[in-house]
Amino acid sequence: MKTFKTMAAQGDLLLTRIDALPDGLEKNSPTDGKHIVAHSETGHHHVIDAVRGKSTVKMYRLPEEIYEAFIVVEGDAATLEHERSFDTHEPIKIEPGVYRISRQREYTAEGFRRAAD
């Protein structure tokens, strides 16, 4: 399992530790006990358990924002996992704190779009 101090990447995601949440965020609700940090085109999402042991994770987004999310990890460390049994990205241990999760973008003639993982 990967560990980090300020930044880590998993596929097309970049996790950055920040000092505080920005204003204007909307709270996201987990799906089946997990926060889907990034939907995958193939159904193999990047997820964090909302509650696991003594770890609690809250997830937020800005309205209409598709490239960034924010999480707050409380209690014990959480784990960012890629839901695929083959050719998967290594799990990342996320220590308690506040984080921005950015999704990689690519430019096309039509404009920016999310990079495919």
With a pLDDT cut of 70, the percent of the chain lying above it is 82
pLDDT score, position 41: 67
Cα–Cα distance for residue pair 55/26, rounded to 1 Å: 21
Q: Using 50, 70 and 90 to split pLDDT, how confident is the model at 8?
A: very high
Instruction: List, for residues 10-47, the tens digit of each pLDDT value.
Output: 878 889 999 999 999 999 999 999 999 887 666 678 89
Burial 78-112 (b: 16+ CB within 10 A, else e): bbbbbebeeeebeebebeeebbbbebeeeeeeeee
Q: Regarding predicted confidence, which is higher, 17 or 89?
A: 17
pLDDT of 2 higher than 70? yes
Measured CA to CA, the distance from residue 91 to residue 79 in angstroms comes to: 6
Domain boundaries, the chain: 7-104
Strand partners, 49: 34
**CA nearest to 92, candidates 80, 100, 75:** 80
Q: Which residue has the higher pLDDT, 45 or 117?
A: 45
Which residue type sits at 21?
A: L
Give the Å distances, CA to CA, from 73 to 51, 88, 104.
Answer: 10, 23, 22
